[in-house]
């Protein structure tokens, strides 16, 4: 089995900056409780381990002022930051104050690191919730997850923890003006690289017309270790199909 890098649940509101393959020097922002995973998905490839219903039920979201205080301190002390990236211990848009956090983050970015972009990695489930569409429109780089082309694959590759279909996620993405997609490809117990899946996913991309698509495979210990990394060759082949339909794509 490939030797994966490890990643643990975060015990703070900020982390890094890490050298990101996609975003350069990326200062991570975790708006979720320290050391608990809170997400609307339970992707078997997740580097944070499994999502537990109990943790979601009992979650107490951190005070947005505490998060912003720590972020301000990091922005003033770090010499270089290319991206302020909302990711962390699960799905950032689940924080009830997410819009306020984004607005204030942009103010802090403009004051201390005006060259940095803002990025959110999101599962796209909560775009309909109050303030989330507005927050994502303020973000330079809203990257929405789209790992499946069919409802059947969506259920196994993302295991939604809430009642939602792939169709609704796509409809949510269509509400965004800036549409950027990120897709994890996996093999082994689950395989979303098979022709039928890739073709259905390409059809969704044609409908969404994203400005860019990032595709990649497992890099860190997945929750389900029966999953396997997709080779560079296969990723490049999928990327060429995306290019063929006229959509910008990068394989990582």
Minimum Å gap between C-beta 94 and ligand SF4 is 10
Q: Which is nearer to ligand SF4, 2 or 246 (CB)?
A: 2
Of 34-42, 64-72, 107-115, 192-200, the segment contacting ligand SF4 by CB under 6 A is: 34-42
Minimum Å gap between C-beta 113 and ligand SF4 is 25
3-state helix, strand, coil in the chain (%, to 5): 35, 20, 45
Helices (H), the chain: 53-57, 64-77, 98-112, 132-138, 151-157, 166-174, 195-208, 232-244
Angle at 185 between CA 59 and CA 196, to 5 degrees: 120
Q: Which residues pair with 213 in a beta bridge?
A: 181, 249
Q: Which is nearer to ligand SF4, 145 or 180 (CB)?
A: 145
Q: Choose, by CB under 6 A, the member of 13, 23, 41, 154 that binds ligand SF4.
A: 41
Helices 166-174 + 195-208 axis angle, to 10:
30
57-76 mask for ligand SF4 (x: CB under 6 A)?
A: --------------------
Q: Which residues pair with 141 in a beta bridge?
A: 119
Cis amide prior to 17 (ω within 30 degrees): yes
185 counts as binding ligand SF4 under rule CB under 6 A: no
Q: Choose, by CB under 6 A, the member of 32, 33, 82, 91 that binds ligand SF4.
A: 91
Q: How far apart are CA 181 and CA 112, in angstroms?
A: 28
Of 44-52, 131-139, 207-215, 235-243, the segment contacting ligand SF4 by CB under 6 A is: 44-52
Q: Which of 193, 197, 175 is nearest to 231 (CA)?
A: 193
Of 4-12, 45-53, 100-108, 234-242, the segment contacting ligand SF4 by CB under 6 A is: 45-53
Q: Which is nearer to ligand SF4, 54 or 233 (CB)?
A: 54
Q: How far apart are CA 188 and CA 66, in angstroms?
A: 41
Q: Are strands 117-122 and 180-184 parallel, antiparallel or unpaired?
A: unpaired
Q: Choose, by CB under 6 A, the member of 43, 116, 208, 215 that binds ligand SF4.
A: 43
Total residues at interface with ligand SF4 (CB under 6 A): 11
List the interface residues with ligand SF4, window 104-143 (CB under 6 A): 123
90 counts as binding ligand SF4 under rule CB under 6 A: yes
Q: Choose, by CB under 6 A, the member of 29, 31, 39, 101 that binds ligand SF4.
A: 39
Q: Which of 150, 225, 159 is nearest to 186 (CA)?
A: 225
Contact residues: ligand SF4, CB under 6 A = 39, 41-43, 46, 48, 51, 90-91, 123, 145
């Amino acid at each position: 089995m490939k030797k994966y890098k490890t990643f643990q649940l975060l015990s703070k509101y900020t982390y890094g900056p890490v050298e990101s393959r996609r975003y350069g020097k990326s200062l991570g922002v975790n708006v979720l409780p320290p050391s608990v995973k809170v997400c609307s998905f339970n992707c078997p490839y997740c580097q944070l381990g499994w999502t537990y219903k109990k943790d979601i039920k009992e979650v107490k979201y951190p005070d947005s002022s505490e998060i912003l205080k720590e972020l301000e301190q990091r922005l003033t002390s770090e010499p270089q930051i290319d991206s302020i990236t909302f990711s962390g211990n699960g799905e950032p848009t689940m924080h009830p104050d997410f819009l306020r956090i984004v607005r204030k983050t942009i103010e802090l970015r403009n004051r201390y690191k005006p060259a940095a972009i803002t990025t959110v990695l999101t599962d796209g489930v909560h775009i309909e919730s109050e303030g989330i569409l507005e927050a994502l429109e303020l973000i330079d780089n809203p990257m929405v997850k789209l790992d499946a082309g069919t409802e059947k694959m969506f259920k196994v590759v993302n295991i939604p923890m809430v009642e939602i279909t792939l169709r609704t996620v796509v409809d949510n993405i269509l509400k965004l003006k800036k549409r950027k997609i990120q897709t994890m490809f996996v093999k082994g117990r689950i395989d979303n690289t098979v022709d039928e899946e890739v073709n259905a996913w390409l059809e969704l991309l044609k409908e969404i017309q994203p400005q860019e698509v990032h595709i990649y495979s497992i890099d860190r210990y997945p929750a389900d270790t029966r999953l396997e990394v997709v080779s560079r060759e296969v990723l490049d082949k999928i990327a060429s199909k995306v290019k063929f339909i006229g959509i910008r794509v990068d394989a990582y």
